Amino acid sequence: MKAALSEKEGLASLVLRLRAEGISDNRLVAAVEQTPRSMFTPPQYMDLAYSPRSIPIECGEYMEGADLSLRLLHNLEIEAGQRVLEVGTGSGFTAAALSRIVERVVTVDRYRTLSQLAAQRFSRLGFSNIVVETGDGQERSPQEGTFDRILVGAAFQEMPRLFAERLVSGGKMIAAIGEADQPQTVVRLTKIGSRFEKEDLFSVRFQPLLKGRAAVL
């Protein structure tokens, strides 16, 4: 009973913080409520599951703080029936929350360990509309189809124009742009013809997007 109460209190606190920022998307709140972050959080950091703090996970990576994770999803402007590509599976929480709203999620991570652990969590929770892949999210073939939305949990040094061909017309992408040792800007890119229309959203500090599949881990 105590764990359930803690989960509810954490979610309630998160919702209040988001509303203070002007984010009151009931679909997102419901998606998070149905997808407990504690199930994606390492046991030793369970008390931080709904906090704004980033949380260390396997392979030297981090799970984004709850506030940032929901802010990114809010700005992705997802809708029912969409196909979403996530580059950077991490713990798997973001893909799981997305899958509560959209039709299909393809999530890619360069670390086999993270992909396998996320897939195990999805299986345990009964998700059937998430495809988990291990590899380089930048090297997907256009023949694999296009997406309505793309979310990248890492930073590009410059505009990621190669992703334009992977979006449908009018499709949107959320990514961070900037140098690795500097604050980066999260942008929303909307595909107009063969180019992107860019909107600056807010500042973050993300790790740079690395090329290739990890040789170990």
Q: Give yes or no for residue 140 having a pLDDT over 70.
A: no
H-type helices in 34-103, by residue range?
66-76, 93-99
- Mean pLDDT of all residues belonging to the chain: 91
For residue 184, give the nearest of 199, 201, 203, 160 by alpha carbon: 203
Q: What is the pLDDT of residue 1?
A: 38
Q: Report residue 22 as tokens.
A: 């002007």
Structural domain boundaries of the chain?
2-204
Q: Report residue 14 as tokens.
A: 């998160």
> pLDDT by residue (tens digit) across 19-46?
999 998 899 999 999 998 999 999 999 9
Q: How many CA atoms lie within 13 A of 165 on its CB side?
A: 8
Average pLDDT over residues 86-90: 96
Q: Give yes or no for residue 4 having a pLDDT over 60.
A: no
CATH 3.40.50.150 at 2-204, yes or no: yes
- CB–CB of 168/146 below 8 Å? yes
